[in-house]
């Protein structure tokens, strides 16, 4: 399905998109539930594993891609929402299941939406055979065309932590949907938001560098003026680097190969005891953590870091910040999910 079109014959499954609701009982007790936003015909296939779409059993095991025609009523669905498949009005023998959304991307300009989700068990928790992608996200910027309005870059985590484009960032094809082209003096600025500066956390980004130079991809550490923060950057001679700074000194965790003019998924995690760096779903360095990133007052940025970080040269896509440290299995699943995106 790696095309910019959706064939009518492929839309043969009825799905429902649901949003969470909160109401109060007469006694003032909070009641949380779900309301159906829309029902749509979708093309459905497993994200990971085999392609046995004719076998209903994969529905109970796999992470799934739902591809639907774009329309304005569902354009803002996010990882805070969920999918019910089959929808309640669908005549089918496939057991009805609930899927937690972990990524949404627009295909083409108002052509279709690619919704990636992981199935819940009947108890409401993912079964042991499914690894959830995107756990604990506090910021998620797909950098797709439908998530950019003027100079505003929308946060699709559901938390509303939007960024502002500084300079000019052309929209190009990304690893997963669209991407932005970065160059010196051009970046996305979120300001100094404490929630985007976790003491325990994960950074994840798809990068397509065009130069083999020192350049920051994301974060809030400003190495030129202070030593507060965390960032992912590229060392022109040694690949990727996760850097953590506590206001006194910094700790670099380096490794892997990130060649120019190719897409690489770079993930950094830290939990207070261990800091790890991954490239394309594989750990390339994991060491005892000696520095806890200080929040400070520096802005969080994509395509730069802090106030004077070395800006990025090339394309960036699908940027995520979490306030938990992803496991190795979650990082591997995140990489595999990105591989189903548009080339």
Q: For the chain, give every domain's residue range.
A: 8-119, 137-339
Question: In 3D, which of 248, 246, 306, 241 has the Cα closest to residue 278?
Answer: 241
pLDDT given for residue 88 in this prediction? 67
Span 326-331, mean pLDDT? 91
Give the fold, CATH level 3, of 8-119. Thrombin, subunit H (2.40.10)
Specify the pTM: 0.72
pLDDT given for residue 280 in this prediction? 95
At 308, the pLDDT band (50, 70, 90 cuts) reads low
pLDDT given for residue 49 in this prediction? 46
Judge whether 177 and 187 are in contact, CB under 8 Å: no
Which CATH architecture is the domain 137-339 placed in?
A: Sandwich (2.60)
At 228, the pLDDT band (50, 70, 90 cuts) reads confident
Centre a 10 Å sphere on the Cβ of residue 227 and count the other Cβ atoms it contains.
19
Dihedral of the alpha carbons of 132, 101, 286, 232, in degrees to the nearest 10: 180
At 218, the pLDDT band (50, 70, 90 cuts) reads very high
Tell me the percentage of the chain whose pLDDT exceeds 70: 82
Give the whole-angstrom CA distance, residue 294 versus residue 186: 25
Q: What is the mean pLDDT of the chain?
A: 83
Q: Which position has the higher pLDDT, 53 or 339?
A: 339
Judge whether 100 and 111 are in contact, CB under 8 Å: no
Span 163-185, mean pLDDT? 92
pLDDT given for residue 302 in this prediction? 96
Q: Has residue 343 got a pLDDT over 70? A: no
Q: Has residue 205 got a pLDDT over 60? A: yes
Q: Has residue 342 got a pLDDT over 60? A: no
Give the whole-angstrom CA distance, residue 306 versus residue 221: 5
Q: Which position has the higher pLDDT, 75 or 319?
A: 319
Question: In 3D, which of 179, 182, 281, 190 has the Cα closest to residue 229?
Answer: 190
Question: Which range, of 66-75, 148-157, 291-300, averages the lowest pLDDT?
Answer: 66-75
Q: Which position has the higher pLDDT, 95 or 283?
A: 283
Q: Has residue 150 got a pLDDT over 60? A: yes
Give tens-digit pLDDT for 244-260. Answer: 999 889 999 999 999 99
Span 3-20, mean pLDDT? 79
pLDDT given for residue 50 in this prediction? 38
Judge whether 36 and 7 are in contact, CB under 8 Å: no
Give tens-digit pLDDT for 14-71. Answer: 999 998 777 666 666 767 778 888 899 999 988 754 333 333 333 334 788 899 998 8
pLDDT given for residue 105 in this prediction? 82
């Amino acid at each position: 399905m790696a095309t910019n079109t959706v064939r009518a014959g492929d839309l043969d499954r009825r799905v429902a998109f649901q949003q969470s609701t909160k109401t109060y009982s007469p006694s003032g007790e909070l009641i949380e539930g779900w309301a159906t936003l829309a029902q749509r015909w979708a093309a459905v296939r497993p994200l990971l594993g085999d392609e046995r779409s004719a076998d209903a059993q994969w529905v109970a095991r796999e992470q799934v891609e739902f591809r639907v025609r774009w329309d304005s009523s569902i354009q803002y669905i996010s990882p805070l929402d969920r999918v019910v498949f089959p929808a309640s009005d669908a005549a089918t023998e496939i057991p009805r299941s609930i899927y937690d959304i972990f990524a949404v991307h627009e295909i083409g300009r108002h052509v279709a939406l690619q919704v990636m989700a992981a199935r819940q068990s009947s108890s409401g928790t993912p079964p042991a055979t499914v690894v959830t992608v995107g756990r604990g996200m506090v910021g998620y910027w797909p950098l797709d065309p439908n998530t950019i309005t003027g100079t505003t870059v929308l946060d699709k985590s559901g938390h509303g932590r939007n960024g502002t484009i500084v300079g000019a960032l052309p929209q190009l094809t990304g690893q997963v949907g669209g991407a932005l082209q970065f160059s010196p003096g051009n970046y996305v600025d979120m300001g100094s938001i404490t929630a985007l500066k976790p003491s325990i956390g994960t950074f994840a980004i798809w990068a397509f560098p065009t130069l083999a130079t020192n350049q920051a991809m994301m974060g809030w550490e400003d190495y030129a003026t202070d030593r507060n923060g965390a960032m992912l950057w590229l060392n022109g001679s040694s690949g990727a680097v996760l850097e953590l700074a506590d206001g006194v000194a910094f700790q670099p965790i380096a490794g892997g190969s990130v060649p120019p003019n190719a897409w690489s998924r770079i993930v950094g995690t830290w939990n207070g005891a261990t800091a790890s760096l991954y490239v394309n779903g594989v750990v390339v360095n994991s060491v005892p953590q000696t520095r806890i990133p200080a929040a400070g007052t520096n802005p969080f940025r994509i395509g730069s870091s802090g106030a004077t970080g070395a800006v990025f040269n090339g394309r960036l896509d699908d940027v995520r910040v979490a306030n938990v440290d992803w496991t190795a299995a979650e990082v591997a699943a995140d990489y595999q999910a990105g591989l189903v995106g548009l080339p």
